Structure 1
Amino acid sequence: MPLTLASLAHHPALKLAVRAGGDRLGDTEVRWVHTSELDDPGPYLEGGELLLTTGMKLAVDDPGHMRDYVARLAAAGVVGLGFGVGVGHDAVPPTLVAAAEQARLPLFEVPRRTPFIAISKAVSAAVAAEQYKAVTAGFEAQRELTRAALAPDGTAALLSRLAQHLDGWAALYDSSGAVLAAAPDWAGRRAARLAGEIDRLRDTPAPASAAVAGPAGTEDRVELQSLGTGRRPRGFLAVGTEERLETADRYVVHAAVALLTLSLEQSRSLQDAEQRLAAALLRMLLAGEPEHARAVASTLYGSLLDHPVRVLIAEPAEPNSAPGADAVTRLGERAEAVAARSGDALLAVREGPRIVVLAAEESVALSTAADLAEAEDTLAAGLSAPVAPADVPEAHRQAERALAVALRRGRNLVEHGEVGAGSVLPLLADDAVRAFAEGLLRPLRDHDATSRGDLVASLHAWLSHHGQWDAAAADLGVHRHTLRYRMRRVEEILGRSLDDPDVRMELWLALKAG
């Protein structure tokens, strides 16, 4: 229990007499004791001190001066005043008593036989005892947290013990800010409402911490701590309490941070090994070896390859984009975290700046990854149609094509079905396609600019009527023989035959792109 003025007043060896503010002794904590004869000792104080003085330099006969003196002490955070008698004054001056009563500042009379050093020793001993108690309690709590962390469900047990010790709640988040576990059970919803605060802390290099107000409608004091040893946090811890954390409580929170960081780093080592295995499985599937992949995957990935799967490929929307790279990492971590909670089997493989996610058609984790990709403007992603495991190479190509469309159109997410159901014409807006079109048609446009006969318009009419001479000529208002002559000139100028369907296709696309 912290040292209070009441405990000093009842200290049998000090013989202190209360002269003012007796009603405030019980709840007033003393952090230290200081002796000063200055008229204004405030600049040399930190707050929470019991100030001792003999009043040798005080104008005790001036009530106004005493009121100002006491006001300065109160403003400096002094919690009590001890006035030594028998040196300069036989008793505590009435003007000082009145000023202390008015300001509600506890005032003690210190008898001549009680040296100030005795009060200092008493306060120092009490503060040291309180600190020792806090340290001892902290060590015991650390042992309890360590035992909890070694339990089969270590993380949940640790959070539960931490919440009990703090008489509050505790929650663990993954690196994306999703709540992984919380204690007590009701704290999960409360913790989820702090997602915005987690996002702000994520931008601060680990280790980082923040003290924030609790969610609206609560009186919580919440402290957030990032977890991990690298630049990017591996996760976050939140603790919520109604009262400010004491020293012993902070020891416990720091112990929890250390244990959770160790657990996450060990989990990361395991995840790195799983990542290498996932990459090998994906290579098998892309090489057309689903049976070999199924044999290897059965232990870790269960029935993943016994049902239709989909492939999602995501990469930064802009090359060499740091926010985009971070978003790719978050997508993979979020998908893996959701898979772990839902029991879904999932492959998430990094390939340079991009990530490839393979999961069952109805996977919650895959839906989460797709939703995150669609909501994240720094990402571009393509999603395949459902395929049998033997057709994963085709699903990968579908996702690649959908990703290319997403990058070209400035979309966050494109599904394969959109590519097949849409029109190819929007793809012609690409600068490379336009350059090809301009190069292909330039000889015809140069001819039209200097000679008779509108070859570009004639070619467009002829192709749009599928080579029907009469219909195309009627559109142009010329004789069909004139149109035949113009098409021969097109072939001569371009050096290509219009009987070739590939040539007709290229010319039509060039006309549409131009």
Structure 2
Amino acid sequence: MPLTLASLAHHSALKLTVLAGDDRLDAEVRWVHTSELDDPAPYLEGGELLLTTGLKLDVEDSGFLRAYVRRLAAAGVVGLGFGIGVGHDKVPPALVEAAAEARLPLLEVPRATPFIAISKAVSASVAADQYQAVTAGFEAQRELTRAALAPDGTGALLSRLAAHLDGWAALYDASGAVLAAAPDWAGRRAARLAGEIDRLRDTPAPASAAVAGPAGTEDRVELQSLGTGRRPRGFLAVGTEERLDTNARYVVNAAVALLTLSLEQSRTLQDAQDRLAAALLRMLLAGEPEHARSVAGRLYGTLLDRSLRLFIAESATPGPAPGAASAAEPRGVPVPVPDFADPLVLLGERTEAAAARCGEPLIAVRDGARLLVLAAEDATALATAIDLAEAATGLSAGLSAAVPAAEIPEAHRQAESALAVAHRRGLALVEHGEVGAGSVMPLLADDAVRAFAEGLLRPLREHDSTSRGDLVASLAAWLSHHGQWDAAAADLGVHRHTLRYRMRRVEEILGRSLDEPDVRMELWLALKVGA
């Protein structure tokens, strides 16, 4: 408990008498300083009880004494102790009047009480407070440690931390999603700090920031990044109505250390699980579901006994990374990506966080610049991945139909096809059932197909540019009417014999027979692509 002037005034051994400022005795005494200077302000920090015998004070000059008291008050002195029996037999009345006017507590120190006795009393109280703070800090650390070892270690730790601070606490994952909060009502409040988390994410861990609480609250919020590497593993937020004092900061630092240790330990486990997930996916893609079941054991529950969907997401402008594994053989080890704005990184982290919150088994594998997610068709985490992919900028994703574990190779083919369609059409997400919807033409709109169409039709276009005949237009009309001479000739406004002559010229120039279905198909697609 902080030492106050009232405590000193009631100290039986000191025998101090309050002469002025008795309404300000609740002021905390941080230290004691003795000075006979008429201006000791430059040597003070504030919060001191100043002791003097008044040897150098002009006690006959009331103006001088008022200025002296004002200087002390301005320097933050909480009280003035005047020792009698050395230079003065009693406290000068003008000094009492000046202290009362400035509302500065003035205490008479009898000759029998040496100044050192007052210093010892204050020093002992400060030491006791510091010992109590350290003891309370160690006890709080023990409580947090016991909580961290509980079955729901994170939740229990946050609950104890919030109770110690008389506020709230929340834990975020690396993507900024709220993993846990205490008390329960704090979850929604913590979620409104996503923007502040994003700003702190760019600072290497460990880092901290003090911010204003969400609108409509009077919270003071402190954010701490968690982790020992360049990339934070998570974030801790604590909200209180008052500024954190030394004891509270000690408790927060203990929580940060425990949470960081927990996250770093889970990192090794996560790496092992990532490798296991990659191995399981390889087995499933190789058509070995029974081997996958034996390896998965109880870790993935009944996941492989359910209908599954395969989700593949990658950059909307994909390019093979040097040494990257093929999609059929994912590596399963998360690739460090320093740019936290990478939507693929956020997609993976938030999908896995959603699975963790719902307790859903999930196989998620980072394969270079790709993310593969295998989940039950009705999984909340899968729905989260789909929603995030549709909302993200710079991603394309493909989703298979629901299949049993034995048909994962087919699901992979479906997801790859859907992803290719998403890239071709410039869409964020395409499901397997949507691949057949719409026209096939957008799927052919790449440089290779256009080059093929241009090369196939070039001889005809060159003929039309130097000779009469309009072979390209005639060919288009004839193909559009399925080889019906009269209808195509009427459409062109020429005699059918003229059209027959033109089609023979087409065959001669191209060296290909229009009686062949494949030839007609290729010419029709070339005309559509080159239109």
Q: Which bracket does the TM-score occupy, shorter chain normalised? A: 0.7 to 0.9
Would you say the 8 A contact 1:327–1:378 is kept in 2?
Answer: yes
1:421 maps to a residue whose letter is A
**Equivalent residues in 2 for 1:457-468, closer than 5 Å:** 457-468=473-484
Would you say the 8 A contact 1:19–1:108 is kept in 2?
Answer: yes
Provide the secondary structure at the position in 2 that maps to 1:300.
Answer: coil
Rounded to whole Å, the distance in 1 between the matches of 2:304 and 2:413 is: 18
Structure 1 residue 349 displacement after superposition: 0.8
> 1:2: which partner in 2?
2
> 1:290: which partner in 2?
289
2:212 maps to a residue whose letter is A
> 2:462: which partner in 1?
446
Rounded to whole Å, the distance in 2 between the matches of 1:492 and 1:296 is: 64
Provide the secondary structure at the position in 1 that maps to 2:280.
Answer: helix
Rounded to whole Å, the distance in 2 between the matches of 1:42 and 1:467 is: 107
Post-superposition Cα deviations, 1:149-199, rounded to whole Å, max 9, x if no partner, equal 222332232223223333333332222333333333333333333333333
Rounded to whole Å, the distance in 1 between the matches of 2:63 and 2:458 is: 99
Would you say the 8 A contact 1:36–1:51 is kept in 2?
Answer: yes
Rounded to whole Å, the distance in 2 between the matches of 1:383 and 1:93 is: 91
1:304 correspondence with 2:303? yes
Provide the secondary structure at the position in 2 that maps to 1:296.
Answer: helix
Post-superposition Cα deviations, 1:407-428, rounded to whole Å, max 9, x if no partner, equal 4444333323333213223334
**Equivalent residues in 2 for 1:180-219, closer than 5 Å:** 180-219=179-218
1:6 maps to a residue whose letter is A
> 1:426: which partner in 2?
442
Greater displacement, 175-184 / 432-441: 432-441
In structure 2, the CA distance between the partners of 1:193 and 1:56, relative to structure 1 (3 Å rule), is farther
Would you say the 8 A contact 1:281–1:297 is kept in 2?
Answer: yes
Post-superposition Cα deviations, 1:103-151, rounded to whole Å, max 9, x if no partner, equal 5444445566656555444433322221111111111221222222222
In structure 2, the CA distance between the partners of 1:396 and 1:19, relative to structure 1 (3 Å rule), is farther
The alignment of Structure 1 onto Structure 2 pairs a total of residues equal to: 513
Rounded to whole Å, the distance in 2 between the matches of 1:412 and 1:76 is: 65
1:32 correspondence with 2:31? yes
Post-superposition Cα deviations, 1:65-121, rounded to whole Å, max 9, x if no partner, equal 766666665555444444566777776666665565455444445566656555444
Structure 1 residue 202 displacement after superposition: 2.5
> 1:388: which partner in 2?
404
1:480 correspondence with 2:496? yes
Provide the secondary structure at the position in 2 that maps to 1:311.
Answer: strand
1:372 maps to a residue whose letter is L
2:381 maps to a residue whose letter is A
Would you say the 8 A contact 1:324–1:379 is kept in 2?
Answer: no
Rounded to whole Å, the distance in 1 between the matches of 2:519 and 2:95 is: 107
Rounded to whole Å, the distance in 2 between the matches of 1:61 and 1:469 is: 130
In structure 2, the CA distance between the partners of 1:472 and 1:64, relative to structure 1 (3 Å rule), is farther
> 2:219: which partner in 1?
220
- Please point out which of 389, 402, 425 is paired with 1:373: 389
**Equivalent residues in 2 for 1:5-24, closer than 5 Å:** 5-24=5-24
Rounded to whole Å, the distance in 2 between the matches of 1:233 and 1:247 is: 25
**Equivalent residues in 2 for 1:5-404, closer than 5 Å:** 5-26=5-26, 28-34=27-33, 45-52=44-51, 74=73, 76-82=75-81, 100-109=99-108, 118-317=117-316, 323=339, 326-404=342-420
Rounded to whole Å, the distance in 2 between the matches of 1:492 and 1:66 is: 121
Would you say the 8 A contact 2:340–2:346 is kept in 1?
Answer: no
Structure 1 residue 301 displacement after superposition: 1.5
Post-superposition Cα deviations, 1:238-297, rounded to whole Å, max 9, x if no partner, equal 223333333222222222221122222222222211111111111111112223223333
Provide the secondary structure at the position in 2 that maps to 1:231.
Answer: coil
Structure 1 residue 41 displacement after superposition: 6.1
Rounded to whole Å, the distance in 2 between the matches of 1:502 and 1:120 is: 105
Would you say the 8 A contact 2:20–2:103 is kept in 1?
Answer: yes
TM-score for the superposition, normalised by structure 1: 0.87
Would you say the 8 A contact 1:309–1:358 is kept in 2?
Answer: yes
Rounded to whole Å, the distance in 1 between the matches of 2:368 and 2:171 is: 29
Rounded to whole Å, the distance in 2 between the matches of 1:44 and 1:166 is: 35
Would you say the 8 A contact 2:362–2:373 is kept in 1?
Answer: yes
TM-score for the superposition, normalised by structure 2: 0.84
Would you say the 8 A contact 1:323–1:378 is kept in 2?
Answer: no
Structure 1 vs Structure 2 CA RMSD? 3.3
2:2 maps to a residue whose letter is P
Post-superposition Cα deviations, 1:379-422, rounded to whole Å, max 9, x if no partner, equal 33222222232221222222223333334444333323333213
Would you say the 8 A contact 1:63–1:96 is kept in 2?
Answer: yes
